[in-house]
Homo-oligomer: A and B are copies of this chain.
Amino acid sequence: MTPEIRPFAEPDWPAVWAIVQDVITAEETFPFDPAMPEPVARAVWVEPPPGLTVVAVVDGQVAGTAKMGTNRPGPGAHVSTASFMVAATARGRGVGTALCRFAVDWARRKGYAGMQFNAVVETNTSAVELYRREGFEVIGTVPRSFQHPVHGRVGLHVMYLEFDGP
Contacts and interface: CB of A to CB of B under 8 A. Distances in A.
Scoring A72, A77, A78 by chain B CB atoms within 10 A of each residue's CB, the highest score goes to A72
Contact of A76 (B31, B36, B158): B31
A30 B73 CA distance: 9
Interface string A58-87: 000000000000011111111100000000
A144 B113 CA distance: 9
A162 interface: yes
Given A139-B141, A143-B166, A144-B162, A156 B76 contact: yes
Interface string A147-164: 110000100101010100
A119 interface: yes
A116 B144 contact: no
30 contacts: A27-B74, A27-B75, A30-B74, A30-B75, A31-B73, A31-B75, A31-B76, A71-B145, A72-B119, A72-B145, A75-B148, A76-B145, A76-B146, A76-B147, A77-B147, A78-B153, A113-B144, A113-B145, A114-B144, A116-B145, A118-B118, A139-B158, A140-B140, A142-B158, A142-B160, A143-B160, A143-B162, A144-B162, A144-B166, A158-B158
Interface in A19-60: 24, 27, 30-34, 36
A31 B146 contact: no
Given A27-B74, A75-B147, A79-B142, 4 more contacts: A116-B145, A138-B140, A143-B160, A143-B162
A74 B139 contact: no
A116 B139 contact: no
